[in-house]
Structure 1
Amino acid sequence: MPSLLTWLLLPLSWLYAGVMAVRNALYRSGTKPSVRFTEVPVINVGNLRVGGTGKTPHVAWVVAWLQAQGQRPALLSRGYGRRTRGYRRATTADTAATIGDEPLQQFRHFGSQVAVAVSEDRVAGIRQLLQEVPATTAVVLDDAYQHRRVQPTVNILLTEQERPFYEDFVLPVGRLRESRAGAVRADVVIVTKCPAYLSATIRQEITRRIERYTRPAVPVLFSCYHYGAAVPLTAKAPPEPGSEVVVLTGIAQPEPLLEHLRSAGYRIVYHARFPDHHAFTAAELWELTAQLAPGQSVLTTQKDAARLLEPTLAAVVADMPVFYIPIEVRFLADGEARLAALLTPYFQPHAVV
């Protein structure tokens, strides 16, 4: 039964949903202008809710898939959490403070093969990227589902299996940035963070509920996380399964990581949990280090590792036995083939170089 607080917040939720509905209607009618780029396909990966649906690894999957097809993708993000403004293209001198943790993670992952840039204004950002990197054959937008000034060629909508948008509500009662009706703009919906063994029966039921909000024949796919071996931030040997570890996170949904670590045999003695995109301080890390018992290690996410490598934290991190757990996206059933079939018609064949 809804709590008293929920009832009190409902008017605010209705107001917020109404404002977003009017905004969407203005874009839909053309009253508010939006841009559709004809130079290259623009693929957006986004969601309806605030944080935690797995955008970063799904963006990485799309970029890697494009590379495998011989394309030259570029990546554009808002750069949430950065301390700079305007357009900025990532270089080796950048940090999480200058471009944001997620763009920095992607830049370090793909290196010079993929141009990574940040800009609050996605239209201006795309134009600048194409001007600076004319060899670009596709632009991947990270988290621009509500940025209606750009009309993406393909709109990929993510929703968590444990927290699907069709069971959620608009802020502040729930976590949705707009109403469930926003799913109608999706060209494909990916249900994320599923168990690898999710049954066909459950997938069919989830698909049926999602299809109440999407256009006819929009594919509904399912993905899961695959975790890699611990990677050291410093020259130290990674902990073996069965070891005692401290988990350090500054992400929206750390539960899947905790579940993986437990299933892998690690013994979690403490979880230092901070808000999403948290800017770690040296004092926080020194305090965490002081609590470590002999033989214990610190495990974190790849996204958090990007922020731990800030120059201001170099001295404390150098003394920490800290490791990150990389993740990659894998699709259930025939999901990968279906997504590839959706994307392929938008690209001309290129030789892989």
Structure 2
Amino acid sequence: MVLLRKILFPLAILYGWVTQFRNFLFDRGLLASTSYDLPVIAVGNLSVGGTGKSPMIEYLIRLLSANHQIATLSRGYKRTSKGFVLADAHANAFSLGDEPYQFHQKFPGVHVAVDADRRNGIAKLLQLNPKPGVILLDDAYQHRKVKAGFYILLTAYGDLYADDFMLPTGNLRESTSGARRADVVVVTKCPPDLPLAQRVKIEQRLNLLPHQALFFAAIAYDDFVYSENARVAVSEVRGEQKLLLAGIAKPKPFFDHLKTDTDVVKQFPDHHDFSEKEIAEIVHDVHDRKIITTEKDYVRLKGRVKPDQLFYLPIKTVLLSQSETFDQILKNYVGTRTANR
């Protein structure tokens, strides 16, 4: 695989030129980009997957929903539906996609919608009653047809965009110059005890513009795992024989947080659609033990495995420092945009 990526290096150069030219056309106004008179916050990355976009969207919902009607708009990756879909009582992980459905389950007061055409999706959201006061665009950093008012760029610790290269040789969707569009850059999935000296090195490596703010964040795991009707302390679960299952981009931290030598571990591709054969194999392997999975996988497996066996471990984004500054930057943007409407 590594050799193939090296062989495809000329394609990576070509892809980089194409994306840079596309960005040039949008930056110069030669391709149309629509802006809006309400706060629109885009969360995304330069690389493919695994930077913690969903936990960041949930962080923003918790931060802003007390004072604003929030709407989220996602593409709805791997959903079975087409066009614009607004989550309702009949929604599921297949009609919305796993991450939007997760938002819908956790935050019932939020408008959760999916549409590959972000401009059409925003237009539909603005017809709702109550009308959203803030729109959060999930995985929309490269969607230049929409001009968000505020951009949050995520990059994972140990896998910085500054150290990466264009697809297919590397994992970048666009060149590192795209980072200039960000208002805030967050280095996610950091060790909770990341030393100050290491933060300074990362800051120097990213070389942000003067107006851009840099923050460092970690993933915080809940103290409990949850099933449909129960919860069990993680400290208790660690002592049991269990099956750990994940279909996310980078599952190693999840497995390391829970596993012991006696556990069965099953890893699947990101956003995996579990077949009936795979479900049967999982049920066969687990016997009467618990299945512990991620929130994203739980919404796909719920109803297909015994509810008293299937548990998920919630996660949250936690800022390592200056969380009040981060929160205030977002609140100031939302407040200013709202006042100027």
* TM-score, length-scaled by structure 1: 0.90
Correspondences of 1:254-293 after superposition (within 5 Å): 254-262=251-259, 266-267=260-261, 269-293=263-287
Separation in structure 1 between the aligned mates of residue 245 and residue 43 of structure 2, nearest angstrom: 27
Separation in structure 1 between the aligned mates of residue 3 and residue 277 of structure 2, nearest angstrom: 39
- Structure 1 residue 241 corresponds to structure 2 residue 234: no
- Give the RMSD, CA atoms, in angstroms: 2.0
- Structure 1 residue 203 corresponds to structure 2 residue 202: no
Correspondences of 1:161-310 after superposition (within 5 Å): 161-211=157-207, 214-228=208-222, 229-233=224-228, 240-262=237-259, 266-267=260-261, 269-294=263-288, 296-309=289-302
Separation in structure 2 between the aligned mates of residue 284 and residue 202 of structure 1, nearest angstrom: 42
Separation in structure 1 between the aligned mates of residue 79 and residue 242 of structure 2, nearest angstrom: 30
Separation in structure 1 between the aligned mates of residue 298 and residue 174 of structure 2, nearest angstrom: 31
Shift of 1:319: 6.3
Shift of 1:73: 1.1
Q: 1:243 to 1:74 in 2, by over 3 A?
A: same
Shift of 1:281: 2.1
SS in structure 2 at match of 1:337 = helix
Give the letter aligned to residue 76 of structure 1. L
Q: 1:320 to 1:281 in 2, by over 3 A?
A: farther
Separation in structure 2 between the aligned mates of residue 247 and residue 101 of structure 1, nearest angstrom: 18
What is the count of residue pairs matched by the alignment? 334
Give the letter aligned to residue 85 of structure 1. K
Give the letter aligned to residue 305 of structure 1. Y
Residue equivalent to 2:127: 131
Separation in structure 2 between the aligned mates of residue 152 and residue 236 of structure 1, nearest angstrom: 39
Separation in structure 2 between the aligned mates of residue 130 and residue 298 of structure 1, nearest angstrom: 41
Q: Which of 35, 40, 44 is the equivalent residue of 2:42? A: 44
Question: Any stretches of 5+ residues in structure 1 without a counterpart?
Answer: none
- Structure 1 residue 56 corresponds to structure 2 residue 54: yes
Shift of 1:33: 0.3
Question: Any stretches of 5+ residues in structure 2 without a counterpart?
Answer: none
Residue equivalent to 2:25: 26
Shift of 1:25: 0.5
Deviations 1:319-349 (A, max 9, x none): 6612100001110021x11212211222349
Equivalent pair of 2:43/2:153 in contact (CA under 8 Å):
yes
Q: 1:28 to 1:317 in 2, by over 3 A?
A: same
Separation in structure 1 between the aligned mates of residue 256 and residue 99 of structure 2, nearest angstrom: 22
Q: Which of 319, 329, 335 is the equivalent residue of 2:317? A: 329
Shift of 1:285: 1.6
Deviations 1:270-302 (A, max 9, x none): 2211111111123212211211255x3211000
Residue equivalent to 2:68: 71
Q: 1:160 to 1:237 in 2, by over 3 A?
A: closer
SS in structure 1 at match of 2:237 = coil
SS in structure 2 at match of 1:330 = strand
Separation in structure 1 between the aligned mates of residue 127 and residue 118 of structure 2, nearest angstrom: 14
Give the letter aligned to residue 242 of structure 2. V
Separation in structure 1 between the aligned mates of residue 12 and residue 282 of structure 2, nearest angstrom: 39
Q: 1:3 to 1:76 in 2, by over 3 A?
A: closer
Separation in structure 2 between the aligned mates of residue 56 and residue 286 of structure 1, nearest angstrom: 29
Separation in structure 1 between the aligned mates of residue 2 and residue 77 of structure 2, nearest angstrom: 32
- Structure 1 residue 345 corresponds to structure 2 residue 320: no
Shift of 1:236: 8.2
Give the letter aligned to residue 52 of structure 1. G
- Structure 1 residue 158 corresponds to structure 2 residue 154: yes
SS in structure 1 at match of 2:152 = strand
SS in structure 2 at match of 1:126 = helix
